[in-house]
Amino acid sequence: MSWLVLIISGLLEAVWATALGRSDGLTRPLPTVLFGTALLLSMGGLAFAMKDLPVGTSYAVWVGIGASLTVGYGMWTGTEPASLAKILLVAGIVGCVVGLKLLH
């Protein structure tokens, strides 16, 4: 259960990071509310997962999922330039996250 919550929390990290970028310095109401809500749920899920999983592993997986999805979404929407090197490096992050799960 902790791994599932951790993965969902990583997804929510990508949501709050993207919403923060779209909030225009927390001045746009809808992205700001989405940012706050996703942030609280993401952090709460991370805290829950850390009750059963090591802190370092939990944090690395949480950040890895959130960062990979945030960059991927940015490349997909065109707000961030895509390149083969960037795609390979993000794939490396995903590979490391999967490796941490397999080693646990």
What are the helix (H) ranges across 25-83?
A: 29-49, 55-77
Give the amino acid at 43: M
Q: Supply the mean pLDDT for the chain.
A: 96
Place of tokens 């397999």: 102
Q: Say yes or no to pLDDT of 59 above 90.
A: yes
Residue among 6, 10, 19 nearest 64 (CA): 10
Domain limits, the chain: 2-103
Q: How far apart are CA 8 and CA 21, in angstroms?
A: 20
Q: How far apart are CA 95 and CA 11, in angstroms?
A: 16
State pTM to two decimals.
0.90
- Reduced to 3 states, what is the DSSP secondary structure of residue 26? coil
66-90 pLDDT, tens digit per residue, is 999 999 999 999 999 999 999 999 9
pLDDT at res. 101: 87
**What's the half-sphere exposure (Cβ side, CA atoms, 13 Å) at 43?**
7
Per-residue tokens: 70: 């945030």
103: pLDDT confidence band, cut at 50, 70 and 90?
confident
Q: How far apart are CA 91 and CA 96, in angstroms?
A: 9
12-24 pLDDT, tens digit per residue, is 999 999 999 999 9
